[in-house]
C-alpha cells in the first residue's frame, strides 16, 4: 500500500458505494477502506458517540499516512465532521455538501426529499446546506432506520419483500410532498436504489452522495496537484468484525471478488 493513499470509511458496507465510484474516477490511486462493522449502525447513536467513533476511524486510517479521507457516512458527515476535521492534517471530504449541490443543480420544482438515518435527520445538516444555497428550496426529511440493517444483512434484491415493505413504510410519507429529487442521505441507500426508484417513479431524481463525494475528492486532489496519474491503484479493506459477510456482500457491491483482501482490526486501539 502506497503511503500516499486515499482513505475511505463508513460504519459498514455502505461506503463501498463511494469506494466503487472512487475506483472508477481515480483508477491510479491506492485506496484503503475501513468499515466499522462491529459498531454498525451509527445512525442510532448519540452525537458524542458518533464523534468518538469518527475520531477512532480516522486515527486508524492515519496510520497509512493518507493524503485525503472520504467520509462515506452520512451520519458522521452530518453530526461529527465539522467538529473533527481540523484535528487532522489532510483534507476530509464528507457526503453532505456535494450531494446538496447536486440536488439543487438537477431539481426543477425546488422540492427535495432527504432519506437518512435518525441522527442525520435530527442534525438538519442537509436542510441547512440546501436552504443556505437556495432559500426558495423546500425540503422534507424522512428517517429510515431499517434500511442499514437490511442492507448489512443482504436484503438488497429489488424484489425483496422486507426491503420493499420498509420502502413503502417510509417513502409513502414523502409522496404527497411531490419532491422531484431525493437525496439518498446514507451511503447504504444507493444499494437499494432500484427498489426505491420503482416506488417513487422513474421521473424522480435520486442523488447518490457517495458518487458526488467521490467526484469532489477527485477534483480537490487534481486541483492541488495531489493526484496519481500512472500505474494501477491498489485497494485494501479493513473491518472491525468478521470478514466473512463483508467479503461476500462487498464483492457484490464492488463488482469483483474481494475475498482474501479484507482484514480485521481492533478499532478500540485507536
The residue from 23, 73, 137, 144 that is catalytic is 73
Provide the CATH number for the domain formed by 96-209 in this structure.
3.40.50.1860
The residue from 23, 137, 144, 186 that is catalytic is 186
pLDDT for 170-207, tens place per residue? 999 999 999 999 999 998 999 999 999 999 999 999 99
Question: Cell triple for residue 265?
Answer: 482490526
Q: Which residues lie across from 263 on neighbouring strands?
A: 238
The per-residue pLDDT for 3 is: 57
Domain spanning 6-94+211-269: which CATH class is it, in words?
Answer: alpha beta
The per-residue pLDDT for 229 is: 85
144 carries an active-site annotation: no
The per-residue pLDDT for 167 is: 98
Distance, in Å, from the CA atom of 212 to the CA atom of 100, rounded to the nearest integer, reads 9
The per-residue pLDDT for 226 is: 92
CB neighbours of 214 closer than 8 A, spacing ≥ 6? Answer: 18, 21, 22, 25, 26, 70
Distance, in Å, from the CA atom of 56 to the CA atom of 34, rounded to the nearest integer, reads 11
The DSSP secondary structure of 28-84, one letter per residue, reads: TS-EEEEE-TTS---TTS-HHHHHHHHHHHHHHHHTTT-SEEEE--HHHHHHTHHHH
Domains 6-94+211-269 and 96-209 share a fold: yes
CB neighbours of 150 closer than 8 A, spacing ≥ 6? Answer: 156, 160, 162, 163, 166, 192
Cis before 110 (ω within 30): no
73 carries an active-site annotation: yes
Distance, in Å, from the CA atom of 226 to the CA atom of 12, rounded to the nearest integer, reads 28
The per-residue pLDDT for 252 is: 82
pTM of the model: 0.88
Domain-by-domain residue ranges, the chain?
Answer: 6-94+211-269, 96-209
Compute mean pLDDT per 10 residues along the chain, 270 residues long, and list them. 82 91 94 96 93 97 95 93 94 94 97 95 94 96 94 92 97 95 94 96 95 94 90 93 92 88 96
Amino acid at each position: 500500500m502506497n503511503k500516499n493513499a486515499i482513505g475511505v470509511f463508513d460504519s459498514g458496507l455502505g461506503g463501498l458505494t463511494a469506494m466503487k465510484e472512487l475506483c472508477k474516477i481515480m483508477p491510479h490511486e491506492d485506496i484503503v477502506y475501513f468499515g466499522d462493522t462491529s459498531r454498525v449502525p451509527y445512525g442510532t447513536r448519540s452525537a458524542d458517540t458518533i464523534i468518538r467513533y469518527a475520531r477512532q476511524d480516522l486515527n486508524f486510517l492515519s496510520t497509512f499516512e493518507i493524503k485525503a479521507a472520504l467520509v462515506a457516512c452520512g451520519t458522521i458527515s452530518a453530526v461529527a465532521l465539522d467538529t473533527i476535521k481540523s484535528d487532522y492534517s489532510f483534507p476530509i471530504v464528507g457526503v453532505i455538501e456535494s450531494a446538496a449541490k447536486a440536488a439543487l443543480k438537477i431539481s426543477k420544482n425546488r422540492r427535495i426529499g432527504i432519506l437518512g438515518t435518525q441522527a442525520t435527520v435530527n442534525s438538519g445538516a442537509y436542510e441547512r446546506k440546501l436552504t443556505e444555497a437556495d432559500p426558495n428550496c423546500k425540503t422534507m426529511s424522512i428517517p429510515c432506520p431499517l434500511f442499514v440493517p437490511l442492507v448489512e444483512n443482504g436484503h438488497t434484491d429489488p424484489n425483496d419483500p422486507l426491503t420493499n415493505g420498509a420502502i413503502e413504510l417510509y417513502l409513502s410519507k414523502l409522496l404527497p410532498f411531490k419532491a422531484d429529487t431525493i437525496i439518498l442521505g446514507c451511503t447504504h441507500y444507493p444499494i437499494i436504489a432500484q427498489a426505491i426508484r420503482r416506488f417513487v417513479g422513474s421521473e424522480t431524481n435520486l442523488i447518490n452522495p457517495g458518487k458526488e463525494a467521490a467526484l469532489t475528492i477527485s477534483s480537490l486532489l487534481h486541483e492541488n496537484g495531489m493526484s496519481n496519474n500512472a500505474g494501477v491503484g491498489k485497494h485494501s479493506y479493513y473491518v472491525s468484525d468478521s470478514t466473512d459477510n463483508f467479503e461476500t456482500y462487498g464483492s457484490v457491491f464492488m463488482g469483483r471478488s474481494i475475498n482474501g483482501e479484507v482484514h480485521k482490526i481492533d478499532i478500540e486501539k485507536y
